[in-house]
Amino acid sequence: MRLTSFTDYGFRALMRMAADPGRAFSTSELAADLRISRNHLAKVISRLARAGILSTRRGGAGGAVLARPAGDIRLGEIARVLEADQALVECFADDTSACTLIRRCRLQPRLAAAERAFLAELDRSTLADCADLP
């Protein structure tokens, strides 16, 4: 299985933030620290905030902070939030699949089971288990 760079950036930012949970991080600071696109990271931060994983504040003392303790945030939850609009394969996409085999496909249920197992494995760990400690 392969996760998108969107999810990769989210995991990296969250691990960095989990290492210093009381501190607010600006998107610019995180992007520079992680050597990733600030604009791309801003979209990641926004989605994580909408999902209740991060809290954000504007202004001079603003930034993003974890909305819950890192030990309460499961890696599978993060992946589900950030991969929400990414179908594993075309036939998993809602009403847009052009696959001609869909009605008789024996692969789809196996891929669905593999995806569930992958996310279940991620659910076994929390963000605290993976925190980027300085």
pLDDT digits over 60-89, tens only?
778 999 999 999 999 999 999 998 877 666
- In the chain, beta strands by DSSP E: 54-57, 63-66
Render pLDDT for 3-48 as a digit per residue (tens, 0 to 9). 889 999 999 999 999 999 889 999 999 999 999 999 999 999 999 9
Structure tokens at 45: 């931060």
Element at 29 (helix H, strand E): helix 27-34
pTM of the model: 0.86
Query: What average pLDDT does range 101-121 have in this prediction?
Result: 83
* H helix intervals, the chain: 5-18, 27-34, 38-50, 75-82, 108-123
What backbone torsions phi and psi does residue 129 show, to the nearest 5 degrees?
A: -65, -20
Cα(128)–Cα(83) distance, integer angstroms: 21
| 8 A C-beta contact, residue 89 and residue 111 | yes
What domains does the chain contain, in order, with CATH numbers? 5-130 (1.10.10.10)
pLDDT digits (tens, 9 = 90+) for 93-108: 666 666 666 677 788 7
Region for residue 2 given its phi and psi (left: phi exceeds 0; alpha: psi -120 to 50; beta: otherwise)? beta
